[in-house]
Amino acid sequence: MESQMTLAWAIIFCLAVAPVHGPYYSRTVKAGPRVEKITRLHFFFHDIRSGKNATAIPIASPNTPQDPPTYGTLYAMDDPPTMESEPTSTLIGNSQGLYLDLSRERTQFTAIIYADFAFTTGRFNGSSFSLFSRFSAADAPSTIREMAIVGGRGNAKKIRKPKPWKHPQPITKSQLEQMREEFWDTAPS
């Protein structure tokens, strides 16, 4: 038994020594500049807070009287993203989430938005990305805005930042019409 154990240890030792003293068979590859792949997604989503086809409804509001009456109201949204600026144009998915009205001014609309944008057609079919950011429609139309993307799945997994965008026209609290987004995703080519 002892001789078998000695033989087993000798074999294990010989097998372990060979790789340790053998040459290293790999090639060193120098790091080069990272090439970004840019994908531009152009779409509009329509947030309608009144009427029979409302896409955003209040789900919670403060119990105390305040001015304006919507200050502190939490909305659930199911906004249709479309290819064109008209709400009746080609639907490309859905954008669902929540937003909280933060503005104490009657003439402004400022919100914290959490939304998941899911695509149901095209190259990004089955993919989605999540947005969590502050949004102020009260700024001047020429104001450049950015919104934070916190992650994606499917083909949108590598989306990392939005391109700054502008509203095509002034938007008031009563009529938040459309928003044009361009998102970049990066991957080594």
Task: Provide the residue ranges of all domains of the chain, joining segments of one domain with +.
Answer: 31-185
Q: Please state which CATH number belongs to domain 31-185.
A: 2.40.480.10
Burial class (CB in 10 A: 0-12, 13-18, 19+), 179: buried
Q: How confident is the model at residue 173, as a pLDDT?
A: 36
**Average pLDDT over all residues of the chain:** 74
Q: How confident is the model at residue 188, as a pLDDT?
A: 38
- Rounded CA separation 48/46 (Å): 6
Residues 6+ apart with CB under 8 A from 50: none
Q: How confident is the model at residue 82, as a pLDDT?
A: 86
Q: How confident is the model at residue 168, as a pLDDT?
A: 52
Q: How confident is the model at residue 177, as a pLDDT?
A: 33
Q: How confident is the model at residue 118, as a pLDDT?
A: 92
Positions in the chain whose pLDDT score sits under 50: 170-189
Q: How confident is the model at residue 189, as a pLDDT?
A: 36
Q: How confident is the model at residue 98, as a pLDDT?
A: 93
pLDDT digits (tens, 9 = 90+) for 89-140: 888 998 999 988 887 776 777 888 899 999 998 888 999 988 888 877 666 6
Q: Which residues of 44-81 are buried (b: 16+ CB within 10 A; e: fewer)?
A: bbbbbbeeeeebbeeeeeeeeeeeeebbbbebebebbb
Residue 47 dihedral angles phi and psi, to the nearest 5°: -105, 110
Q: How many CA atoms lie within 13 A of 141 on its CB side?
A: 8
Q: How confident is the model at residue 4, as a pLDDT?
A: 84
